[in-house]
Amino acid sequence: MNNQNRSDIAAFPELFAGMEQFIAEQAAGFKRTSVILAIIALPGGMLLAWLLNRAA
């Protein structure tokens, strides 16, 4: 098996050409998912707290 150096990545820049765009798209997806989760979780948590308070 070959031992690879850190400089080996520089030998193949075409393999990493779209990496920045990929990371940006993934970050945008995480932000969108976080917002949707917050929109669902906040009212759901408030409803659950209200139901538990009402039952007690």
pLDDT of amino acid 43: 96
Kindly report, residue by residue over 1-56, the tens digit of the pLDDT.
Answer: 566 666 666 677 777 788 889 999 999 999 999 999 999 999 999 999 999 999 87
pLDDT of amino acid 33: 97
pLDDT of amino acid 12: 73
How far apart (Å, rounded) are the C-alpha atoms in residues 10 and 51? 59
How far apart (Å, rounded) are the C-alpha atoms in residues 29 and 21? 12
pLDDT of amino acid 41: 97
CB 16 within 8 A of CB 9: yes
pLDDT of amino acid 18: 85
pLDDT of amino acid 16: 77
How far apart (Å, rounded) are the C-alpha atoms in residues 24 and 30? 10
